[in-house]
Amino acid sequence: MRKDGHGREPDPDTPYFPTYEELASDLLEGMERIGLVVQDVGHELEPSTGERTFQCTLRLPGSEPPHRYLATVHFHWDALLTYLGTYGPGSECDLYHDDDEACTHREPHPAIELVTEYDLGDGGYALRELGEVQAWIDTVQGLLTRAVPVEEGRVVHLGLTVREGTIWVDRFAAEQVWYLDLSAAPDLHEICATVQATLKATPALADRLPL
């Protein structure tokens, strides 16, 4: 049986809520279990507020450096989540009123946004005409939809700059966002499988885009 962040057996009557460490560990284990290579794991802590940020880089196994097709996964863990992870669900009452006062505050809904960003090209390409942009986006959306049919939470980013009257592409990326409700155990396996499928699809863009 899985233990909590303090090494204790979980109480079946206690609402589910992971600590930051548990969620980060489960996510990393899920990515490695499905066969992705995990690199550059980072944890940032703001001491004054308790806010935390997780980030790591993922790639497919067997690829040789420099690794052109990578995914960066990150999520932000705010101060209230740190408090709930330390003292447990229901402890937020102590933040709003004394023990002898009636509880009238709204119970917070613990959740995070898990973001995965995929680099689709190195940039540095001069546009011949703006119509190319829509063609590229259609190509990317079509390819990613075949790999991962669910499009909810996915966007394509195209960064443009103007130098000496010429429009240049300096960033081309896709982003997938998952809203994770932490009042129940999230399905991290499905997320890891989606990241893997997307990474497998991105090399095919090399033959379709001039980036």
- Domain positions in the chain are 20-207
pLDDT means over runs of 10, the chain (211 residues): 43 70 94 94 89 94 69 92 71 62 64 90 71 80 82 82 79 88 88 92 70 53
Q: What is the pLDDT of residue 210?
A: 57
pTM: 0.78
Please report where in the chains the tokens 């979980």 appear, as a residue.
Answer: 10
Q: What is the pLDDT of residue 71?
A: 92
